Each structure stands twice: as C-alpha cells, then as structure tokens.
Structure 1
Amino acid sequence: MSTLKITNLSKTYPNGVKALDNVSIELENGMFGLLGPNGAGKSSLMRTLATLQEADSGTATLDDIDILNQPSELRKVLGYLPQEFGVYPRITAEQLLDHLAILKGFTKSTERKEMVKYLLDKVNLYEKRKKNIKGFSGGMKQRIGIAQALIGNPKLIIVDEPTAGLDPGERNRFYNLLANVGKDVIVILSTHIVDDVRELCTKMAIMNFGEIVYQGSPDSAIDELKGKVYHKIIGLQELEKYAEQYSIISNKMVGGKPSIHVYSDTNPNNGFEQVIPNLEDVFFSKINTDNVLV
C-alpha cells in the first residue's frame, strides 16, 4: 500500500495566474477522481506531481520519496498519460512500447519482450501489435497510452483528461481498463467529465481557481444535497428573472428551453419539482458563483 501526501502546494505563473492555491490531498491505492472545469488547476497539479514543473511552495511525498526534491526517484515509479499523448505514428504498437521501455532503463531484450507482451495483453491490443499506430482509433491510442504508463510496475499513475474525444464504446472499454489498473496502485484521474468520476472513483476532489473546494466520496457529496435540489423547465426569456430569484446550480437546454436545477433548503413551489441529486449537481453547486450553461 502506497501513500501520496500533498500539503499546501502552491504555484503562481509569471502572468499572475494562481494555478495552485494551498492544495492538500492524501491518497492511498485506488482510483481518485480530480474533477474541475477547464482552467481549474488540475493539469498544473498533475504536471507538478509528474515532475514536469516546480511548485513555489508546499510539499509532496510518495511514501519516502520527496517528489519536489527527488524528481528522478519519483520518475522510476511513475506512470503518466498526459492530455496530449504524442506517439510516433509510423511505428507499431510493439515497437513503441519496446522503445519506451528502453528509455525507462530496461536494457535486457528478453525482459522487454516479455513486458511488452504482458502490457499489450493487458490493454487488449496484442493482436494489433504489428499495426502502425497512425491507424489506431482514439480509444486504441489511449489504451497504448495506459500500456506505456504501466511500464516498470509504477506506484503512482496519473491520467489527464483521458476520455476526451472518445466515443461511448471506447469510453466504456477505457473505464474497465482503468478500474482494473486501479486495484493495485494509486491512480489519479484528472477530468472535467463528471461521468468519468461517477463511473470509476470512490474518492474525489473538486478543484476551482486553483483550490480544492470539495474532498470526499461522490456518495457523501450527493447525500449533502438530498432534499435540496429542485427542477423546472422555463422559457428562455425567463432565465434572467429566475437567476435573480433563485440559487441556480446549473441550466441546460432541453427541447430549446432551459432546464434549471436550483438549490433550496425549502420547496420553492412555483412549479418546481424536487429531484434526486446527482454528481453533476454536486459539481456545479461547488464551482458555480454565477449561472452556467452546460
């Protein structure tokens, strides 16, 4: 069992943007969802943990490794699938994994061959091992991304926005793969897609403007909203009036009309119906200070 401990991590970019604002999280083996809108600071945190950028202050440790001061030690036990996973398009899946294994320090060819076969089997791409990656679908490329992240039996795996652009079938296959991987190591899943966290993670945090605004389990977060979320479909021209009168969590277009969810301790009446809250309601209730159209 490994432990990742992040304490008061802060990072401000030269343009003045505070990407990380005293972020503190403690994780053990399993799937952890980091949820937040674009620009919330998720990728900044992932890049810092992956030793791709330095923090201004704070600490981060993985077991006895000081991540900020021992980056080379962390990289030995890190698997990383960035948001944009660049591959060499004109080589095969087998060649790519063999090449990346060499870069990770596996110099014995027999050892690499066994590892590559194991990884291709694990991501269900062994039958495609001789195919050039340029012909892979988006989902297949993401599975190769996970395979390379598993080289060397890592203790920590970071995946940044892994399902963006995948069709529903590819997303489900990727969910199954991640869930299997997450049994034995710490996996941080950074995403703005609520379904990713709902399907995969028993623990989560929500980030906004560089801060952790919620940390706990998805179920606990949903329980906090029970009996306090109400729904109504209104006219488009009424949205501004309702925004002034009610605490709108979110609104989205349904049949050309805004479908709004509002937060209220008591029944607001006026045609509102109480609904069972979901993780999307949690997400928007934690990050919204203004009305958001999703």
Structure 2
Amino acid sequence: MNLTIRLDHVTRRYRDAVALDDISFQIGTGVTALLGPNGAGKTTLLSLLSTAAAPDNGTVEVFGHRADGTLAERTAIRRRLGFLPQEVEFPSGMTAFGFLEYIAVLKEWNDKTARHREVRRVLDAVQLADRPTIKIRKLSGGQRRRLAFAQALIGDPDLLILDEPTTGLDPEQRAVFRATLSERGRHGTVLLATHQTEDVGAVCDQVLVLDRGRVAFAGDVPSFIDSARGRVWVDDAPVPNAVASWRDPNRRVRSVGGEPPPTAEPVDPTVEDAYLLLVGPTPGVEVAA
C-alpha cells in the first residue's frame, strides 16, 4: 500500500470536549469511506488532514509532511490536495467558469491558457460543460454541489477529501460521481465522509468508522460487511431486541441483531447492517417500520 495519510496517537479537544481521543490509523491509495454518527469527530479529522487545524497531541502526516508543521510542509500538502467541505459558500454574482478560474488562480495556475483548459476539463468532469457562463445563483442545488466538487478536482490532486459530496444529487448524477471516484481511486487517494452507505458498497475499498472520537473499525469493505454475517434476519415480525427493524419491499421485516426466533431467516448483510451493529442507529431517527 502506498501510504498517503498517517495518524499516530492523535487527540483534539475543544475546551472540555474531546473530539478525537488518541486515534491512530493509516490510509493509502484507493477510496476510503469515513463513517460515524454526528459528533463522532469526522469533521475535526477532516480539518486536521486539510491543514486547517492542529492536534493537541500526536502526529498527523500527509504525504510524509506534518499537517501542523512548517508553512513549507503545509503548502506541500495543499498543493496535492483537493477538498470539498460539506458547506460551500459561493462568491456573489460569479459564473460557474469564473468561480472555478478564481479557485485555479488560488491554486497557482498562473498560465491563462492552461488555467482555462483545466477549468473546462473539470466542468466537463461534473457534467457542467454546458453551464460555464450561467450565474451560480441560477444553478440548481445539485448543480451547485457538482460545481463545488469540480473545484476539488482542479489540478488532478493526489488526495481528495470529500465531505458528504452526494448530497442533493439525483441517481444519474450519483452514478457519474461514483464512476469518477472509482477511476481516481486507481491512482490516488480519496477519503469520502458520508452517511450514504450505498456509496460505500459501490465505490469504496476501505472503511474507517469513528464513534465518540475513537476508531471503531478500520479495514476493507468485505471484512466490514462480514462482521454482520449471521446477525441479520428477515421474518414476518421484528426480531426481539434488534438494533433496528424495518419492512422490506417484499413486506417482510428485516432485523439487524437481536435474538431471532426459529422462524427468522438469515440474509446477506450490507454496509448499513454492519454500521448499525457497530454504532447503532442515529439518535432521533426512526428506523423501524
């Protein structure tokens, strides 16, 4: 594995709250899913990796450089990094092309011809090649999300950090996004923070799960799914003490975990099943049907 990211005993606090609690892991080439409930420390981790924040203890390395090191080290990381935050604020009045050119200038694309060629390339990659001169305020929510993704692709970065990138995308757009990520994972590193477990099963090689600031799981996707094997059932009624139960399209009840009666039939688990067994359902969300 070509190592891209290494964390060694990293802790990050916010006053009295511990966001990351002595975590260590490594990430190499490929697509890695970052999963975890709200408040698990995912956003804090992304801020450390993108050099926007520093740990209180431990070491964060990206491409062998300290993410909290000298300006030269942080700049070396940023030149090989594409980052898509969960929320992107676009400058007022800009066109799609103008916004991407602005980002390209910030990324030191000083040759105008090469810069314009790169802007057109990323617009095409996110299927916005026919929208370059339209004001951003006139784009749909999904189109603005794709534009935000496009800015992360400028310069063909070796590391892509994406926070909930498929929010607002329709099924066709999500399919294009998955194809793009699969291709990039062949020669680079993608860290995909998401709540969309179907994206994990479709494109990811590895899974990293955070829960309450600690690493709950780190490994490949098949191993993660196998951790739920023999613990997922279908029956005519919910399994007692199940973590979650819901009625499937065949009008049978799928239960994750619990104490199955003799009538319950085991079924193949999914990424979502493994996640629910590891950290439980998100508080306040009704899972049972």
TM-score normalized by structure 2? 0.87
- In 2, Cα distance between equivalents of 1:260 and 1:252: 5
Distance in structure 1 (CA, Å) of the matches to 2:215 and 2:271: 16
- Specify the alignment match of 1:251 in structure 2: 245
Indicate the residue corresponding to 1:199 in structure 2. 202
The CA distance in 2 between the partners of 1:143 and 1:2, in whole Å, is 28
The one-character-per-residue Cα deviations of 1:60-110 (angstroms, maximum 9, x if unpaired) are: 212231112132332121110000022125211111111111112222212
3-state secondary structure, aligned to 1:128? coil
CA distance in 2: counterparts of 1:93 and 1:215, whole angstroms = 38
Unaligned runs of 5+ in 1: none
RMSD between superposed Cα atoms in Å: 2.6
Q: Does 1:26 align with 2:26?
A: yes
Q: 1:207 Cα deviation (Å)? A: 1.3
Distance in 2 (alpha carbons) for counterparts of 1:227 and 1:94: 51
Equivalent AA in structure 2 for residue 279 of structure 1: V
Q: How many Å apart are 1:289 and its aligned residue? A: 9.0
- SS at the partner of 1:157? strand
- 1:35 match: 35
The gaps in structure 2 that reach 5 residues or longer are: none
Counterpart CA distance in 1 for 2:248 and 2:207 is 29
Distance 1:2 1:137, change over 3 A: farther
8 Å contact from structure 1 (residues 10, 57) kept in 2: yes
Q: Does 1:92 align with 2:84?
A: no
- The Cα shift of 1:218 comes to 1.6
Correspondence for 1:167: 170
Identity in percent: 32
Query: Is it true that 1:212 corresponds to 2:215 in the alignment?
Result: yes
| Deviation at residue 46 of structure 1 after TM alignment | 0.6
Indicate yes or no: 2:81 matched with 1:78: yes
Say if 2:256 and 2:276, in contact at 8 Å, map to a contact too: no
> 2:207 and 2:105 mapped to 1: Cα distance?
34
Q: CA deviation at 1:169?
A: 2.8
Matches of residues 93-112 of structure 1 in structure 2 within 5 Å? Answer: 93-112=96-115
Aligned equivalent of 1:285, options 268, 271, 277: 277
Q: Would you say 1:117 and 2:109 are equivalent positions?
A: no
| Aligned position for 2:12 | 11
Q: Distance in 2 between matches of 1:89 and 1:180?
A: 33
Runs of 4+ in 1 over 3 A off after TM superposition: 231-235, 252-255, 257-260, 289-293
Q: Provide the aligned length of Structure 1 versus Structure 2.
A: 281
The question of whether the paired residues in 2 share the 8 Å contact of 1:139 and 1:171 is answered with no
In structure 2, how many angstroms separate the alpha carbons of the residues matched to 1:262 and 1:172? 28
TM superposition score normalised by structure 1: 0.86
- What is the match of residue 133 of structure 2? 130
1:142 equivalent to 2:135? Answer no
Question: Counterparts of 2:25 and 2:64 in 1: how far apart (Å)?
Answer: 16
Cα shift at 1:126: 1.7
